[in-house]
Chain A
Amino acid sequence: MSKPLALYGASDGPSATSGARTLPSRTAFSADRRAFAEMLIAWTLAGPAIFFLLVLFFLPVIGVFVIALTDWQFGARSLSFVGLTNFREVFADAGFRTSLFNTVIYALIVVPGTVVFGLLIALLIESGKSCRSFYRAIHFLPFMATLTAMAIAWGTLLHPTIGLVNQTLAAMALPTANWLGQENTALPVLAVIGIWQNLGYAMVLFLSGLKSIPQDLYDAADVDGADLWFDRLRTVTLPMLGPVSMFVVVVVALRAFESFDTVKVLTQGGPGHASEVLLYTLYRESFEYLRTGYGAAIAVVFLIIVVTLTLVQARVMDRKVHYQ
């Protein structure tokens, strides 16, 4: 996203300037007037983008920061500044700490799970000759589907008595569970659904990464004696997928931190606080308990985490070129 923007920014400026300079001097403009005209054009062109960035992005963010410093309740006509009280309260709150902990656990299951299985499926698809696009499509479908609807389907599958999962387990004489209703299974099951949902995305990224590995490297590995699957994987495939893998890790981590739909639809953070995650806590404090100031403080914490991950991602994207 930022690349084309930067590109245009970088190339438009100089070319516009040089274009103006090469204008024949018979134009009556003085240097000052020409500079003014240029500035006017620049603001006219950049104006709409700056306006929307301000209105849709920077102002809301600043708004959240400001609200986080107040005791404002949604719909209230008055508010007063309370300084960092909200933040102190957030970090003192056991509920928030559980929520943060749950989110981290959720991410720690979803990220490795998605990366490992995404890579595995990508390798399997790439190694086979037939039905490649079919396999690609069916694995990518969950990522394209509306997660809320999929969550309802998962809820039905995981129903304690009539759900297909438990019925299958019972038919095979395996122990069943109230997957979403038990404290010890609710979060892991949500994480599995998270893996299921992100798998296709990771797979597509890995597939493109695999495609960009030059065949020459595999040939060289063959001639050099690294021709068993394990050696090929270690000598060529995995190292060459390094940059892509880092990218997948960061993107999936971001998505894991943003998980909300499945929690809202399936568990509402329960049982107890067993599946309460950051975004759900934020939603509940802000829109159910209407403690908007407190919710804004959580939003600020959330924002810091997400921005940190994004910065890591940006650095990873820069490092991508180091293999060239």
Chain B
Amino acid sequence: MASVLIDSIQKNYGVTSVLRGVSLSIADGEFLTLLGPSGCGKSTLLRILAGLEVQDAGSVTIGERVVDGLRPKRRDVAMVFQSYALYPHMTVASNIALPLRMRKLSAVRRLPLLGRLLPGTTQVAGEIDEEVTRTAKSLGIGHLLVRKPGQLSGGQRQRVAVGRAMVRNPAIFLMDEPLSNLDAKLRVQMRAEIKELHQGLGVTFVYVTHDQAEAMTLSDRVAVMIDGELLQVAPPQDIYADPDDRRVAEFIGSPKINMLDGVVRERGLIDVAGATLTIETDARPGAALTLGIRPEAFHLADHGGQGSLTGSVRMIEHMGSDLFVHLDLAGIDHPLIVRLLAERAPYITPGQTLHVGVRPDRVLLFARDGRRLRRDAESDWTSVTPFREVAR
């Protein structure tokens, strides 16, 4: 068990900057997920943690130890790969045993025939076998030990990969998209098993994924990474409800958050999409803002006017308990997506004009450069430029 401290890590491939000074501290026993779109640098960061890649600048501390320059095996980390990376020519038992054999047996003792003749080898090998059997049983793959990876299903391979990682009690578990090769149903099941594994072992997990559902369900904290930068590190509910950055708000949530450009008319009033919403903001009149409104923050309104948006229904998606209504608003090129309870809105048809109200406290305000504007943060609103100055 160990905490992890990542300090100003930079990594470039040629002229491409993959990680731009990433700093992150992970508590002992925490489940932290690195979440981001593909190519954001999250896997690179994980590989730097593992020691499979070397950073150009910055340092990594695991426990009390600075591990920069240490080989992966000296870092006391275990890794589960997206492809599982099982050795195809070895049985399940040999796959799980390999990390133990490498640690507990010297090179001479590992020789095929000669090693067995040395005193003590048989005893250590017996201990390793016991350990392997125990681990395999705890993962429910005890009956598969003599098979080869090629004879296993995706889920079973996944378990073998986890077994190989946990058999030597590493201080940190690193997981690189371990579920993305599984079908949807199995993914949900394995997700639960990984969560149980973490609770059972109590060691630090660093988990990389591009799947927000995995990140939200598994993590103690989620670190959202986009374009080589950490934008926000927070518990899942905060990442969703209280994002620091427009890109975080847009990446999290399905369907995507609605982003509407608006201009502050006067204190407490914002003009947006031909309507005026009552939203408290400290930004000056004339300031240009972006309003982020989650689809479920809307509700049906009886009539148009101040505080509601009006549009015509373009499309309706039935999701069972909910409806996603796509609304065309005047002066906005992409439709507004509104999530309504199905029983409340049974009569909506395409082409119809609809009024929707929005709860002011559910509206997230962003500056045009993407920063979140919070009411209490004084520095935020004073720096907002009036609309005319940013006019293109």
Report the minimum CB–CB distance from A210 to chain B (whole Å).
Answer: 15
Give A275 Cβ to nearest chain B Cβ, in Å.
38
Q: How many positions in chain A have a CB within 8 Å of any CB in the partner chain?
A: 22
**Cα–Cα, bound, A54→B374 (Å):** 85
Q: Across the interface, do B87 and A236 meet the contact criterion of CB distance under 8 Å?
A: yes
Q: Decide if B150 touches A220 in the complex (CB within 8 Å).
A: no
| B interface residue count range (under 10 / 10 to 19 / 20 to 34 / 35 or more) | 20 to 34
Bound-complex Cα distance A239 to B89 (A) = 7
Q: Is the CB of B81 within 8 A of A224?
A: no
CB distance from A215 to the nearest CB of B (A): 9
CB pair A225–B102 under 8 Å, yes or no, is yes
In the bound complex, residues from chain A placing their C-beta under 8 Å from that of B150 are 322-324
A235 interface residue per 8 A CB criterion: yes
Instruction: Please measure, in the bound complex, the distance between the C-alpha atom of A324 and the C-alpha atom of B89, giving whole angstroms.
Output: 10
Closest to B79 in A: A223
Residues 216-251 of A, flagged 1 when their CB comes within 8 A of B and 0 if not, give 110110111111101100011001101000000000
With A242-B89, A323-B150 given, is the CB distance from A223 to B52 under 8 Å? Answer: yes
| Candidates A220, A230, A239; contact of B107 at CB < 8 Å | A230
Report which of A220, A235, A322, A324 forms a contact with B81, defined as CB distance below 8 A.
A220
Q: Once bound together, how far apart are the Cα atoms of A231 and B71, in whole Å?
A: 15
Q: Which residue of B lies closest to A235 (CB)?
A: B87
Give 1 or 0 for each of B301-318: 1 = CB within 8 Å of chain A CB: 000000000000000000
B78 interface residue, CB < 8 Å from A?
yes
* Count of A-B contacts judged by CB separation below 8 Å: 69
Could you tell me if B89 and A222 are in contact, using CB atoms closer than 8 angstroms? no
Does B268 make an interface contact (CB < 8 A)? no
**Cβ of A228 to closest chain B Cβ, rounded Å:** 8
- Residue of A220, A228, A240 with most partner-chain B CB within 10 A: A220
Q: Does B88 contact A (CB under 8 A)?
A: yes
* Alpha-carbon distance between A236 and B87 when the two chains are bound, in angstroms: 7
- Bound CA span A214–B81, Å: 12
- Nearest A residue to B82 by beta-carbon distance? A216
Bound: A227/B47 CA distance, A: 15
Decide yes or no: A217 and B87 within 8 Å by CB, A223-B50, A223-B79, A224-B99 being known contacts: yes
A144 to chain B, nearest CB (A): 33
A217 interface neighbour in B77, B78, B79, B85, Cβ under 8 Å: B85
Q: Report the bound CA distance from A230 to B85 in whole Å.
A: 19
Assembled-state Cα–Cα distance A227/B99 (Å): 11
**Contact check: which of A219, A226, A227, A323 meets B88 at CB < 8 Å?**
A323
Note all chain A residues with C-beta closer than 8 A to B51: 222-223
**Which residues on the A side are within 8 Å of B88 (C-beta)?**
239-240, 323-324
A235 neighbours in B (Cβ, 8 Å):
87, 98
What residues of B have a CB within 8 angstroms of the CB of A322 in the complex? Answer: 150
Contact B102 A224 (CB under 8 A): yes
B-chain residues with CB within 8 Å of residue A219 when the two chains form the complex: 47, 50, 52, 79, 81, 85
Docked-complex contact A223 and B73, CB < 8 angstroms:
yes
Q: Which of A220, A225, A226 contacts B85 (CB 8 A)?
A: A220
* Nearest neighbor of B104 in chain A, beta-carbon distance: A225
Q: Are A222 and B52 in contact (CB under 8 A)?
A: yes
Shortest distance from the beta carbon of B195 to any chain A beta carbon, whole Å: 23
Please measure, in the bound complex, the distance between the C-alpha atom of A324 and the C-alpha atom of B77, giving whole angstroms.
28
Main SS at interface, chain A: helix
B72 lies within 8 A of chain A by Cβ = yes
In the assembled complex, B103 has its CB within 8 A of some CB on chain A: yes
In whole angstroms, what is the CA distance A323 to B86 when docked? 11
- Least Cβ–Cβ distance between B369 and chain A, in angstroms: 38
Contact of B73 among A222, A236, A240 (CB under 8 A): A222
Q: Are B89 and A225 in contact (CB under 8 A)?
A: no
Task: Please tell me if B3 contacts chain A, counting CB pairs below 8 Å.
Answer: no
Which of chain A's residues have a CB closer than 8 A to the CB of B109? none
Partner of A226, one of B52, B89, B98: B98
The distance in angstroms between the C-alpha atoms of A227 and B81, with both chains bound, is: 17
In B290-334, the 8 Å CB interface with A consists of: none
- Is A240 touching B107 in the complex (CB atoms < 8 A)? no
Q: Which residues of B contact A242 (CB under 8 A)?
A: 89
A230 surroundings in chain B (CB, below 8 A) = 107
With contacts A219-B79, A322-B150 taken as known, whether A224 is within 8 angstroms of B73 at the C-beta atoms is: yes
Residues of A within 8 A of B159 (CB): none
B157 interfacial by beta-carbon distance below 8 Å? no
Task: Determine if B281 is an interface residue (Cβ-Cβ < 8 Å).
Answer: no
Report the minimum CB–CB distance from A36 to chain B (whole Å): 46
**A239→B83 contact, CB < 8 A:** no
* B72→A222 contact, CB < 8 A: yes
Knowing A239-B89, A240-B89, the reply to whether A226 touches B77 (Cβ < 8 A) is no
Let me know if B11 is at the binding interface, CB within 8 A. no
Task: Report if B246 contacts A (CB, 8 A).
Answer: no
Contact B164 A224 (CB under 8 A): yes
Q: How far is the CA of A65 from the CA of B35 in the complex (A)?
A: 71
Minimum CB distance partner of B167 in chain A: A224
Q: Name which of B72, B79, B85, B164 has the most chain A CB atoms within 10 A of its CB.
A: B85
Min CB distance, A34 to chain B, in Å?
A: 42
Residues of A near B78 (CB, < 8 A) are 223
Query: Complex formed: what's the CA distance from A33 to B343 in Å?
Result: 62
- B102 touches which of A214, A231, A239 (Cβ 8 Å): A231
CA distance A281 to B99 in the complex (A): 56
Most buried by A among B47, B77, B89, B150: B89
| Nearest chain B residue, comparing its CB with the CB of A224 | B99
- Across the interface, name the chain A residue whose C-beta is closest to B151: A322
| Docked CA distance A31–B154 (Å) | 47
In Å, the complex CA distance between A227 and B73 comes to 8
Smallest CB separation, B251 vs chain A (Å): 27
8 of the cross-chain contacts (CB-CB < 8 Å) are: A216-B82, A217-B87, A222-B51, A223-B50, A225-B99, A225-B102, A225-B103, A239-B87
Chain B positions within 8 Å of A, measured between CB atoms, are 47, 50-52, 71-73, 77-79, 81-83, 85-90, 98-99, 102-103, 107, 150, 164
- Complex A-B, nearest 9 residue pairs according to Cβ-Cβ distance, in ascending order: A225-B102, A220-B85, A216-B85, A225-B73, A239-B89, A224-B99, A323-B88, A222-B72, A223-B72
